[in-house]
Structure formats: C-alpha cells, structure tokens
Chains A and B, each alone.
Chain A
Amino acid sequence: MNKSRMSRRDFLKSAGALAAVSCLPVSMVELAFADSRKNFSFAHISDSHIQHISGTKFVRNWDRGLIRAVAETNLLVPKPDFVVFGGDLAQLGKKEELDHGAEMLSKLDYNKVYCVMGEHDYYLDLGDYWSKLYGPHYYSWDHKGVHFVTLNSVITYDKWTYERWPTAMQRMVEMAGLDNPNGSPFMVGEKQRDWLRKDLEKVKKDTPIVVFSHSPIQKIYKGWNFWTEDADEVQALLKPFNDVNVIYGHVHQVQYNQIGNISFQSVMATAWPWPYPETYAQAESHLPKLTVPMNRADPFFERDATGWQVINVETGRAAIKYNLYNNTNRTVAFNPKTGHPEDIAFQNPARRIPPQTHY
C-alpha cells in the first residue's frame, strides 16, 4: 500500500526537474523548488565492462562508452550533487581493468563517487583490489534527508564461491558468462541482511530510502542472473518504509517495477545493451509488465542502446532520466496517481513506437 504523500504537482515537478537539469539556468531551477527540502539530483553511470586485451590494449568500444558518459556528466548544468557507479567497472575483475576504469572515472569533476560492486568486479579476488580503490562493499549514508544504502548483491552460495573452481580466474570466467549454465544465482546474503536490518533501525519510516544494488533485488530471469535469490527477504526489510527506491544495474536495459511500496528501476550500461529476457524463445521469464522497453539496439552504431542517467529524488521517489546516445531520451518517474514508476512519454500503450517492440 503506497503511503507516499506525493502530489501530482510533485510528480510533474520531479519529471520537470530532470528536463530542467540540462536546459535551464541554475537560478531558475533553484526558484522552482525553493519550497522542497530535498532539492538535489545525482548522476549514475554503470556497467562499463572495461575489458583488457593485452599489454596496454583494452577493448576500444567499451572504453569509448565510459569516456563519453564521464565527459557528458561533467557538462551537466546545474551540477548534480554526486555520482554513483553501478557496478561492473571491469570485465574480468583484473587489476589492469579496474585501474583503467578508475582512471577514466577519475576525470569526473565531482567531490564524491559512490561505487557499487558488480560480479565482474568481484569474482576474481572477491573484491579485494576493488576495496583498495573504492572502500567497503556495502555501506550507507544520508544526504539532504534521504537515506542511501549500497549493497553488494552479487555474492552467491559459499560452495560455488570457495569450493567449486580450481582457480580464481576460472571462477571469474564462469560467472562472467551471462548465459553460462555453470553460473550461480546472486544474493545479498544473511550477513548483509542482518547489517541492513540494523542499519534501517535508526531510520524513520517516512524518510525516503534509496538502495543501490547491482542485481535487481527481484526475480526476473534466472538464466541470465537477472535475479536475486533472497529478494523476498530483502524486500521484507524495506517494506515498513513509506518511500523506497531500488536502483540496480546489471541488466543493461530499461526496466522498472513496483512491488508494494518499493519502486525498482534499472540503469543502462555504458558498454553494450542486452536483449530483453522474453526474446529468448526457449525459456520463460518475468520482465515487469510495467516496463516500456528501450528502443532496439542498432549494432551499426556502437553507442546505441547504451547510456547513463541523472536521478532526482526530490520528492522522495526516484525519477530517472536516461541519457541515450542518438536516441530519444527516456524519463521514468514515480506517478503518485497510479502508485508506480511510469515513462512520462510512452507509458500509455497508444503512445508506443515500433522500435520498442522486441522479439
């Protein structure tokens, strides 16, 4: 049951706030939201998959994606408060990849970059080198009245992680294959769920919460690990709060959903797009029905169906503007009338366009 106090005016404001971010002078934006206590936005870049070839050579295509996202993020007017990186900085968790990715991220002209663990960062050395660059695997912080939580939601069963594979690289390669039948489902795990429970004890029920995660904290398609094994348990911990937003990476496509009072929204990859699970003819999957898919990728333009995001939590609910190269940008914002996230242009079935048909 949605307990949000957001009004229609707030909805329009939050969607409008995003349009404002890139077009209006700073002063006009401030004036529009002078009465709001949560007047900020942040940028979200994810899934760069920096891939090492040999020596100092990296896959050019993925490098260009991250370089461009960083360059464009630096141009934002007005400037968002911070940047989040959503996971999978590297492709095989190698030091070269993490370093090369970190070097590109260091060009961000922002005070703070919060990083989320992805499985491609994790499974080589279980996040050891990543921690040297970016700190703890899970943590929380508060900013302008919103409580933020970052989870490492790509861990899996201990047996698979510690006993199954003869070498660390083998383990990494096995987890790197999205469709690998030898993979293992993602989870948050008991230890983090305990930590989360304690962390949330100090948070008031009407404080908006944003959870950053790599895996979806939902069960969408197990074959490609669009999946969090203990999604129900994690959602139960978030249930008591009025305004909860889960923002996740990993899927390399636009997805959004509403389960009870929790809004779920995915972010795009800067590297490459993935097909929607329903396009795999041999298996069943559960893409949230709400989702209006992104436009089909045109492989002849390397940045097509990739992108990065600006997220506004001004009203306690996340509104995400997807910056999609050479495509119409998409904005998915929470609609208080319907109680779930909606695409502000295309949600109505009558407004869909042919490129959104995936098969």
Chain B
Amino acid sequence: MFGKLAGAAFVLVVLMLTLGEFMVRADEFTEEDLKRWQDEYMSVVNKGRALWVSPDLGTNGVACAQCHPNAANTHPETYPKFQKQLGRVIALRDMINWCIQNPLEGKTLGLDDPRMIAIEAYIAHERKGVEMAPGKH
C-alpha cells in the first residue's frame, strides 16, 4: 500500500514538472494581462462617461454633466458618509440614485445595475489621486 502511494506521488510530481506550464498558477500575471484588464476597466469607465452626459438617464433631459462637469463636486472619496439631508450614512451609489430620482426626475437604478457600476467607475476615475476621506462632509 505504501508503495502504491509513493508511486502515485511520484507520477504526480513528474506530471507537474512536465505539464506545469499548462496548469493555472495563482498570482501570476503579465504586463499584457495588466494592459488587457485596464482596457476592460476603461471600457466600463467610458460607458459611465456616456451615461454621465446622456439626457436619457432621467425623464427630463437633464444630464449629470450639466451640474458636474468631469464629475467634479461629487466627492466619491468621502463616502460612505453621513448625508445630512437624508439623515443617514449612505454610500456613493445611494447619492447617485438620489440625483437620478430628483434633479433628473428618473427611476432609481438597482444597486447592482451595470449602469450604476459604470457611473461609479467614471466618477472614481475622474477623481484619481485624491486621498480617501470617508465621512468628510
């Protein structure tokens, strides 16, 4: 029995050594991978930008960009925070939904809606480099 185990282990080691390059290894990625994934990310950021300037996110033709050019004045780095006008701590996407519902007079997006993710991605992208400051009013 012991012999069989040792034999199986031996075969396994040989297999790993020979086929190793074809097996998945965690934590390894190349420059190419990074670039590809960054492009994937930017594709969603760009979708977010398209939504940002779109008159169709709400029902009255108002676009986010009208009040927030380049997503300025959205302060994503301060969320979650106590939003005084709502009386509770909220996340960025709650505020996005508030804007869609109120100034844009539209229907809120589901919190897992791909459009919500895209909008958040665009907002964060335009705020790159700014220090995190959750809770800041």
Interface residues in chain A, defined as those with a beta carbon under 8 Å from any beta carbon in chain B: 51-53, 57, 59-61, 177-180, 223-224, 272-275, 277, 279-283, 297-300, 302, 358-359
Q: Which B residues are CB-close (under 8 A) to A274?
A: 67, 69
Interface bin, chain B = 20 to 34
Bound form: Cα–Cα A179–B103 in Å: 19
Bound form: Cα–Cα A61–B62 in Å: 10
Chain A interface secondary structure, helix, strand, loop or mixed?
loop
A275 to B73, Cβ gap below 8 A?
A: yes
A359 to B69, Cβ gap below 8 A?
A: no
Q: Which B residues are CB-close (under 8 A) to A53?
A: 59-61
A298 to B70, Cβ gap below 8 A?
A: no
Q: Which A residues are CB-close (under 8 A) to B69?
A: 177-179, 223-224, 274-275, 280
B65 to A179, Cβ gap below 8 A?
A: yes
Q: Which A residues are CB-close (under 8 A) to B65?
A: 177-179
Bound form: Cα–Cα A270–B107 in Å: 26
Interface residues in chain B, defined as those with a beta carbon under 8 Å from any beta carbon in chain A: 53, 59-62, 65-70, 72-73, 75, 85, 98-99, 102-103, 126-130
Task: Give chain A nearest CB distance to B84 CB in angstroms.
Answer: 9
Task: Give chain B nearest CB distance to A356 CB in angstroms.
Answer: 13
Given A177-B53, A275-B72, A279-B73, A59 contacting B62 (CB threshold 8 A): yes
Given A51-B62, A281-B130, A273 contacting B67 (CB threshold 8 A): yes
Q: For residue B68, which residue of chain A has the nearest CB?
A: A275
Q: For residue A354, which residue of chain B has the nearest CB?
A: B137
B70 to A280, Cβ gap below 8 A?
A: yes
B75 to A359, Cβ gap below 8 A?
A: yes
Q: Which A residues are CB-close (under 8 A) to B72?
A: 275, 277, 279-280
Bound form: Cα–Cα A51–B98 in Å: 21
A281 to B126, Cβ gap below 8 A?
A: yes
Bound form: Cα–Cα A277–B69 in Å: 9
A59 to B60, Cβ gap below 8 A?
A: yes
A282 to B85, Cβ gap below 8 A?
A: no
Q: Which A residues are CB-close (under 8 A) to B66?
A: 178, 272
Bound form: Cα–Cα A275–B129 in Å: 19
Bound form: Cα–Cα A286–B128 in Å: 20
Q: For residue A179, which residue of chain B has the nearest CB?
A: B69
CB < 8 Å neighbour of B61 from A59, A179, A277, A358:
A59
Q: For residue A296, which residue of chain B has the nearest CB?
A: B73
Task: Give chain B nearest CB distance to A215 CB in angstroms.
Answer: 16
10 other A-B residue contacts (CB within 8 Å) besides A224-B70, A275-B72: A51-B61, A52-B61, A59-B61, A61-B62, A223-B70, A279-B73, A280-B72, A281-B128, A282-B126, A300-B85
Q: Which B residues are CB-close (under 8 A) to A297?
A: 73
Q: Which B residues are CB-close (under 8 A) to A178?
A: 65-66, 69
